[in-house]
Amino acid sequence: MELAIIISGFYAESTSVKVVADVADGIDVLIYDDETKQILGSALTADGSANITVSPILYAGQRIIAYLAEFGQDTYGSLVVTESETEHTGWKTPETVNGQSYKAYLIAGGAALPDLYDPASCRNFSRDKDSIDRAIDVPISFILRQIESQGGTVQVVIENISGAIGGYKSKFDGDAQGTNLSKTYSDSGNYQVKVWGVNQVEAQAITKTYSLTMPTASIDFGSTVVDLTYFADYGNNTSPGLRPLRVTVYSSVPVEVQIDGVHTWAVASSTGMQPNETGRYDGPVHFVEEGEYTIRCRKASDSSQELVRQIKLNNYFS
């Protein structure tokens, strides 16, 4: 729990504030006025806490905040200084009535008035460190999704990160740490990704490993190079939960395509020539569930060579 958390001493005329932080001994903890940005005091951590002498003394309504190591870093947030150490409920006796003190008002014969409710004054409840721990120390989790791009590459995407208080850091393989959510690979092999909280160190990261096999980008049909791709969008109102899958081929000769388990060999229809590309041929569209599929391409009525690719449609892996 590498956050500076003020747990006591935040009341008017207090000269000392206690801060807890799950860090090594000797880390500087700083208390600031959160509005004026004036530093009020600092102390080093020992056994997970720091008792900080503040100057000037605190006053009711002041907003203070604690940081680790330097201004703006690793804070649990600011809070409002309450009027007294024992005030818990937020109910306050009126201070003035018609321009005179409440005490003078009563002496003059004024009727007693009900207390006023000030939510800011509720902030003096003792902070339960165990409760804070439970709120902050939520294990980080995330999902990896493998997306096969065109041209013999595979993209791995990080999704649904949870438990990263204050943000996250990521690191693919031996790359520098950062906040990248994806990486594209062009070589088969074993890889890994790490994700950890912005207030953690890399040693605390959750690591996931994965093995990737690059799809074949193209094949030489005699003197013709054929490139096999696919199209898979999300379902619609007529096919909820299904995805339209279609094999697309760029070739200068007619081709047939197949999706194993979905449809057998079918002649792909030509959609003409595109600028700077060979002809495009599209196979039939079939609505399929998410999962793994094998798509194939060959010269029309020629089974001597096949271009084969394994694809994954929203297939999540751990």
In whole angstroms, give the CA distance from residue 232 to residue 3: 44
- Tell me: pLDDT of 207 over 80: yes
In whole angstroms, give the CA distance from residue 295 to residue 248: 10
SS3 at position 224: strand
Contact at 8 Å (CB) between 76 and 132? yes
- Categorize the per-residue pLDDT at 125 as very low, low, confident or very high, splitting at 50, 70 and 90: very low
Mean residue pLDDT of the chain comes to 79
- Vertex 28 angle, CA 27 and 31, to 5°: 140
Q: For residue 150, what pLDDT is reported?
A: 58
In whole angstroms, give the CA distance from residue 287 to residue 124: 59
Tens of pLDDT, residue by residue over 280-304, are: 788 888 888 888 888 888 888 777 7
In whole angstroms, give the CA distance from residue 182 to residue 155: 7
Task: Write the DSSP string, 4-69.
Answer: BEEEE--BTT--EEEEE-SS-TT-EEEEEETTT--EEEEEE-BTTEEEEE-SSPP-TT-EEEEEES
Query: What is the CATH code of the structural domain delimited by 5-88+126-135?
Result: 2.60.40.10
With tokens 């947030």, the residue in question is 77
Tokens of 304: 């001597």
- Vertex 175 angle, CA 195 and 171, to 5°: 5
Provide the residue ranges of all domains of the chain, joining segments of one domain with +: 5-88+126-135, 141-212, 218-313
Q: For residue 126, what pLDDT is reported?
A: 46
The whole-number average pLDDT for the span 87-115 is 73
In whole angstroms, give the CA distance from residue 302 to residue 8: 80
- Categorize the per-residue pLDDT at 123 as very low, low, confident or very high, splitting at 50, 70 and 90: very low
- In words, the CATH class of domain 141-212 is mainly beta
Q: For residue 308, what pLDDT is reported?
A: 81
Q: Is the pTM of this model over 0.85?
A: no
Q: For residue 309, what pLDDT is reported?
A: 80
Query: What is the CATH code of the structural domain delimited by 218-313?
Result: 2.60.40
β partners of residue 171: 194
Q: For residue 272, what pLDDT is reported?
A: 57
In whole angstroms, give the CA distance from residue 35 to residue 67: 14
The whole-number average pLDDT for the span 202-216 is 84
- Cis peptide preceding 56, ω within 30 of 0: yes
In whole angstroms, give the CA distance from residue 169 to residue 203: 12
Same fold, 141-212 and 218-313: yes
The percentage of the chain sitting over the pLDDT mark of 90, rounded to a whole number, equals: 18
Between 249 and 208, the more confident residue is 208
Tens of pLDDT, residue by residue over 18-54, are: 998 888 889 999 999 988 889 999 999 988 889 999 9
- Categorize the per-residue pLDDT at 71 as very low, low, confident or very high, splitting at 50, 70 and 90: confident
Contact at 8 Å (CB) between 19 and 4? yes
The whole-number average pLDDT for the span 86-114 is 73
Q: For residue 249, what pLDDT is reported?
A: 83
